[in-house]
Structure 1
C-alpha cells in the first residue's frame, strides 16, 4: 500500500511555537486538547499543555494507547481502555511511537509533531520511578515535506520526508529532555531525489535507505556513518558526509521495512524481498513474476518476517488471501492461504514471534512463523470489507506485549485480546471513530 499525501506543504521550522506549528488561527483551537468521552467513564479533563498539572508517581509503568480520528488523537489507558486524554488536531494525521516509550510522533501537515502520551519512567541505576500526567501536544516538531515513514531501531529514530527525500535521525531516548533542552540533535541526509521512501539507521551508525524518485523506486543503498560536524537540530548541519558503500539494485517498487532478530533488515519488493544481513544484501524472490511484499512485520525474537502478498499488478485494490513468511536465516519463503483477505493494517507479531493477521472474516489468525501452521483463531469483530480508499478507517491491529488491540470503526469499539488466553478480555466504546492505533509502554 503506497501511503502518499496529496499535496506539498512548506516546512515548519524546528522547535516552532505551538501557534506557528499549527499555522493560522483556525488551527490554534485544533492544537488545544479537548475532553475524551467513554460509555463507562466521564470525560477526562482537558489538557492545557505539557505542564498543565503535576505528574502522579505510580507503582509501575502505565502503558497507554493512542488512536487517530477525524479531528484529533485520543489517548487511552492500555489496561482498562478508559480515556486518559484527547488532543484536537485538524487534518489527516498519522501516528507512530517515537521510540522512547513516552512520546508519539504525529505526521501532520508539514511536520512530525510530538505528542506527550503522559506516561514515563525515570531510571536511577538499578530501579526506576514511573509517572503519569495529562497527555498533551507539545510545542515541538520536526519540519518535514510530506512526512512519511518512521522507523525505530538500535536506539535511533529515523524520519523520512517523501516531499524532499530528507532523512533525519536522532537518539530515541533524547526526546525525554524536550521540556528542558528542546529537540534532540539530529543527523540529516537528503536522498538525491525525493520519493516515497524509508530509512533504517544501524547500530554502527550506517544508514540503509531506499533509492528512487516520484516515478519509480528500485534500489536500497547502504551509506556510511554520519560525520560529526558539531551541528544541532535547529541548524540542520549534523549528519554530514554519508558516503554510499553498497547498493542492491534488485528491488522494484521497494516499499516498507522490517527487522528480524536483532540486526537483519528487510525491504519489500514487487518480486520478493531484499535482505540486509551481516553487511551484505541478498534477494529472496517471489514464485510469481509479480509477487509484492510491500508491508512487513518483524520480531526481535524470530528470524522470520511476516509480509503481505499481492499478485495483481493492475488491481485498483487487490484483496489477497495469502501472506508471506520469509525466513531470513534459511532464505526460505512460505506462502500461506488464510482463506480470508486482510489489509495493510492487519499484520502484527506476538511476544514469542507469533505471526498475527487480522482477517476480514473478523478473526485474529495466530500462526507459527516457522511452519505457517495456524495455532489458533480468535473471533474479534464482525466480518468486514477493506475500503478502496486507504485513508478510510478499517479494523486495525496493534500489539503491545501479550495483548493484541483491534479497532472496530463501524461501532467505535476497541477490543483487547489476551494472546496467551486466546480470547477477547476487554471491550470499550470510544468517543470517536478510530483510524490508526499505536501505543507507548511508559
Structure 2
C-alpha cells in the first residue's frame, strides 16, 4: 500500500549531492515500494551497505525516512507528538508520548549484524512492535545491550534486554524505587542500575542499585536533578541545580557550575571524551540561554562558552558539541578547547517558553548533521567537513528525531 499523498515528501534540492556523504550512506539493494509501517515485510532483505534511517516525530505520527534521500519509508500514527529515543540494539526506537502517558516501540527496519571486521546489513519496512505501556515517561536510556525506561507516574523503571526487542510481546521487567517523580534510570556496565531518588516529589540525587534492584549506595547531592548522559567508558553525568553529579564505579563526585547560581539541564557526551556539554539555566539569568557549559569530568573543572544565540537541542559527536541557534546557524564547539565554529544552515526561528512548540532539532552521525525545520516544512542534511547543505521539503512540521544504523554506513558485508 502506498503512503497517502499528504505524507509523500515534496523534494527540493538546494545543493549538490554530498559526494562523500552519499557514498558513505548510499544504500545498495533492490528498490521496494513504500508501504505503511504497520504492514511490515515478512522477511528482511540483505543489502550491500547499511541504510541509515531517520525516525522523526510529528504532531500526530512518526515518520521513518531514508537518511540519505529523505524519502519516506513509512509512518505510524500517534495521538500526540512523542519523544523518540533509540533502543539498545540501535534498530528500535521508543516513542514516549508524555501528553497521553503512553510508551510505544518502533522497528525502524534497518540494522547491521557485526561479524568480526565486517557486517551484514538488512532492511524491512518500518513497523510498530508489540510494546504498549500506559505510563508517563520522558527518558528511555540504552547502553550495554539494555534499555531502561523511567516511569514518572510510578517512581519506577522498566528494563528490556537487547534480544527481547524483536517480535512477540515485549514485557519490561519492573523495578520500583520510591514515590512518583520526574526522574531517570540508566544501566551500568556491571549489570546494575543508577536511578533517581526524590524528596517531596523532586529528584534530589541518585541511588546505586545492583542487578536485582537492591540499593547499594545513594548520593543525594544533586538538587533539581534533570538530564543525564553517559561519560567515558562506564560513568554517567546528571544535571543538577548546582552543576553536575558524576557517578562511576559506585562512587560519585560533584562538579560546580561555571556560572554561580546556575543549574545544568540537558546534557550530551560520547564514550570517547570525558567532557560533558550541558545547557545552563537560572530564572534570574536569561542571558544563559546562549551559553553552553563544558564539564571536564577527569579534571573536575567547568567552563562556560558563549554561543551568541539561544539554541534548541544539544548533540555531541567525535569531540564536538553541536547546537542550532535561533539565528539559524549551527555552533560546533570543540569539547577540549571550547573553540566555536559557526556554520550557516537554516532561516531564523523563535524559541518560546513553551518547550512543546515546534522548533528545529538535530541528529548527528560522524560529520553528518540532520536538522528538522518545522517552520519551513523541511529536513536539512549538513556535511560538517564541507559545510555543504542539502534540503528536502516534507509534509507537515517535523520535530524531534533520531538516526539509526548510521555507525555502520559504508561498510561492505
TM-score if structure 2 supplies the norm length? 0.86
Aligned to 1:103: 92
Q: Residues 372, 418 of structure 1: CA spacing in aligned structure 2 closer, same or farther, 3 A cutoff?
A: same
Could you tell me whether the CA contact under 8 Å between 1:85 and 1:134 is conserved in 2? yes
| 1:191 matches 2:177 | yes
| 1:349 matches 2:340 | no
| 1:320 matches 2:284 | no
Q: Residues 398, 126 of structure 1: CA spacing in aligned structure 2 closer, same or farther, 3 A cutoff?
A: closer
Correspondences of 1:51-90 after superposition (within 5 Å): 51-52=40-41, 54-90=43-79
| 1:160 matches 2:150 | yes
1:315-340 CA distances to partner (integer Å, 9 max, x unpaired)?
A: 8x876111100001001101111121
Aligned to 1:135: 126
Aligned to 2:25: none
| 1:430 matches 2:394 | yes
Gaps of 5+ in 2: 13-31, 407-413
SS at match of 1:410: coil
| 1:276 matches 2:208 | no
Give the whole-Å Cα distance in 2 for the aligned partners of 1:173 and 1:364: 37
Name which of structure 1's ranges 354-363 and 84-93 shifts more when overlaid on structure 2.
84-93
Pick the aligned partner of 1:420 from 375, 380, 385: 385
CA RMSD of aligned residues (A): 2.4
Could you tell me whether the CA contact under 8 Å between 1:99 and 1:155 is conserved in 2? yes
SS at match of 2:263: coil
Aligned to 1:47: 36
1:195-241 CA distances to partner (integer Å, 9 max, x unpaired)?
A: 01001110111211111156422111111221xxxxxxxxxxxxxxx
1:376-428 CA distances to partner (integer Å, 9 max, x unpaired)?
A: 2110111222122111110111112321111111111111111222x133211
Give the whole-Å Cα distance in 2 for the aligned partners of 1:215 and 1:83: 42
Give the whole-Å Cα distance in 2 for the aligned partners of 1:279 and 1:182: 34
Correspondences of 1:260-299 after superposition (within 5 Å): 260-299=231-270
Gaps of 5+ in 1: 1-31, 227-241
SS at match of 1:143: coil
Pick the aligned partner of 1:118 from 96, 109, 126: 109
SS at match of 2:375: helix
Give the whole-Å Cα distance in 2 for the aligned partners of 1:182 and 1:127: 31
Give the whole-Å Cα distance in 2 for the aligned partners of 1:327 and 1:405: 27
Q: Residues 338, 152 of structure 1: CA spacing in aligned structure 2 closer, same or farther, 3 A cutoff?
A: same
Give the whole-Å Cα distance in 2 for the aligned partners of 1:254 and 1:245: 20
Q: Residues 361, 74 of structure 1: CA spacing in aligned structure 2 closer, same or farther, 3 A cutoff?
A: same
Aligned to 1:311: 282
SS at match of 2:402: strand
Aligned to 2:273: 302
Q: Across the two proteins, how many residue pairs are aligned to each other?
A: 383
Measured after TM superposition, the shift of residue 162 of structure 1 is 0.6
Could you tell me whether the CA contact under 8 Å between 1:259 and 1:300 is conserved in 2? yes
1:137-195 CA distances to partner (integer Å, 9 max, x unpaired)?
A: 23x115242122011122211100111112111222431x32xx4326x4421121110
Give the whole-Å Cα distance in 2 for the aligned partners of 1:221 and 1:66: 32
Aligned to 1:358: 324
TM-score if structure 1 supplies the norm length? 0.81
Aligned to 1:386: 351
Could you tell me whether the CA contact under 8 Å between 2:50 and 2:112 is conserved in 1? yes
Measured after TM superposition, the shift of residue 290 of structure 1 is 2.4
Task: For CA contacts below 8 A with separation 6 or more, give which structure has more relative contact order.
Answer: 2
Give the whole-Å Cα distance in 2 for the aligned partners of 1:77 and 1:113: 21
Q: Residues 144, 159 of structure 1: CA spacing in aligned structure 2 closer, same or farther, 3 A cutoff?
A: farther
Q: Residues 119, 311 of structure 1: CA spacing in aligned structure 2 closer, same or farther, 3 A cutoff?
A: same
Pick the aligned partner of 1:330 from 289, 299, 303: 299
SS at match of 2:138: strand
